[in-house]
Amino acid sequence: MKQEYFERKGNALYCEGVGLREAAEKFGTPLFIYSAAHIKERYRNFEEALKGYPHHICYAVKACSNIHILELFAHEGSGFDIVSGGELQRVKEAGGDTKKCVYAGVGKSAEEIESAVKAEILYFGVESVPELERINAIAAKLGRVARIALRVNPDVDAHTHDYITTGKSENKFGLTADKAEEILKGFSEKYKNLKAVGLQVHIGSQITETKPYKTAVLKAAEFVLKLRSQGTELKYFDIGGGLAIVYKDEDPATPAELVKEVLPIISELGMTFVCEMGRYMVGNAAMLVTKVEYVKENPDKTFVIVDAAMNDLIRPALYEAYHEIAAVEDKAETFVCDVVGPVCESADFFRKDMTLPKVGEGDLLAVCSAGAYGFTMSSNYNSRNRAAEVLVEGDEMTLIRRRETYEDQLNCEKTCR
């Protein structure tokens, strides 16, 4: 198994000490099942790699924002990378320290900025001049000083899917170094209610190599030196997120390898190392368990129709992403099939033309590596209730999100009558 805390015992699949069938029978399907041990281990891998050096590890909430998962990070002492007022609210609800939050995103609304200034977040990752002016005005209104880090777009290709590349000049993210330099000239006179404390470069997601990070960090380091010569001192060097996980046969860099490449550059500058990993922390912490509804034999194809769909895990439809699929109970005989959901779209598939143990109605399948951008990107398309989520710790499983009901779905509309 590519997911360390999932294994086969006999012919059945387990998450830590809990059988996937047992969990599915107790809570129904589709069901996201997460390993707490995996998440803690991943966080600690970064802590270990950065030991002895000033650092601040943030977890990118967007990858998986269940408050019980956020609690695990809060207990580890993690900071949080947020991108909305909703995510800030979740961090608060989970008992996370808002003073350890960094806030990214090109479109922060006035309300969102106000709540983050009040929560005294560590810094706003600023992406444009109008945004800077808005944060300054809101901080002034509140009689506060807000900390900011400029997000610089280093124009580096992260060699990942186009939709999740963010550090190229054609992408909407960040400021050019020239623009950032212009902003920082006379900054304290222009922006009396802001303090510039850092620099951020986030170049993309599912990045397997250390090289694009190094290129981006070197470019940003050069910029830091230039700023220094002009009298601007910044404390935080934020490399963003993006470290890859294994979905299929990737061989991604480890946190230790990444840190080894970039930390010398940052430590030379004497700055605090900040990172904002999401997928690395939770991607391989979960599987999506789903039940076979029908096996449909067409003349030239066999379809295994399951009760999970693109509304539960949109990555295959959106990015043609590869997710391994395993039968919860292994079988000797196999067949070639498409694994598809019940939604009325041809994009509603998990895998096409795959060799799968010969399952039938009522059998369970597990869609692997579903922890990051799985539940968080799910929707109610086709008026389907969103899935339940379960957290496993050793032999114990805890429901951390109950399955939605039709009543939940209708509530926002019925209350408008």
Active-site residue set: 344
**Residue 131 to residue 109: CA distance in whole angstroms:** 9
Min CB(241)–ligand LLP separation in Å: 3
Computed on alpha carbons and rounded to an integer, the radius of gyration of the chain in Å comes to: 23
Task: Closer to ligand LLP by CB, 291 or 315: give it.
Answer: 315
Q: By CB under 6 A, is residue 63 in contact with ligand LLP?
A: yes
Query: Which member of 6, 280, 350, 375 binds ligand LLP (CB under 6 A)?
Result: 280
Residue number, 373 or 375, with CB nearest to ligand LLP: 373
Choose, by CB under 6 A, the member of 174, 212, 240, 357 that binds ligand LLP: 240
Q: Residue 108, interface with ligand LLP (CB under 6 A)?
A: no
Long-range contacts, stretch 247-250, CB < 8 angstroms, 24+ apart? 247/2, 247/283, 247/321, 247/322, 247/323, 247/324, 247/368, 247/369, 248/322, 248/324, 250/208
- 279 interacts with ligand LLP by CB under 6 A: yes
* By the rule CB under 6 A, 241 interacts with ligand LLP: yes
d(CA 177, CA 183): 10
- Residue number, 116 or 364, with CB nearest to ligand LLP: 116
Per CB under 6 A, the list member of 1, 12, 106, 164 interacting with ligand LLP is 164
Cβ distance to ligand LLP smaller for residue 18 or 58: 58
Q: Write out the DSSP string of 125-145.
A: EE--HHHHHHHHHHHHHHT--
165 touching ligand LLP, by CB under 6 A: no
Residue type, 71: E
What are the structure tokens assigned to 123, written together? 């810094």
Nearer to ligand LLP, 157 or 396 (CB): 157
Q: Which is nearer to ligand LLP, 281 or 326 (CB)?
A: 281
Do residues 316 and 349 lie in contact, with contact meaning Cβ atoms separated by under 8 Å? yes
How far apart are alpha carbons 253 and 238 in whole angstroms? 18
> Which stretch, 131-139, 200-208, 302-310, 402-410, contacts ligand LLP (CB under 6 A)?
200-208
Interacting residue with ligand LLP among 174, 242, 255, 357 (CB under 6 A): 242
Distance CA 20, CA 13 (A): 6
> Of the candidates 82, 221, 277, 391, which one interacts with ligand LLP according to CB under 6 A?
277
Tell me how crowded residue 210 is: count the other CB atoms within 10 A of its CB: 19
Per-residue binding string, ligand LLP, 365-404, x by CB under 6 A, is -------xx-------------------------------
On the CB side of 230, CA atoms within 13 Å amount to 16
Residue 307 lies near ligand LLP (rule: CB under 6 A): no
Report d(CA 135, CA 147) in Å as an integer: 10
Contact residues toward ligand LLP (CB under 6 A) are 60, 63, 81, 104, 164, 202, 205-206, 240-243, 276-280, 315, 319, 372-373
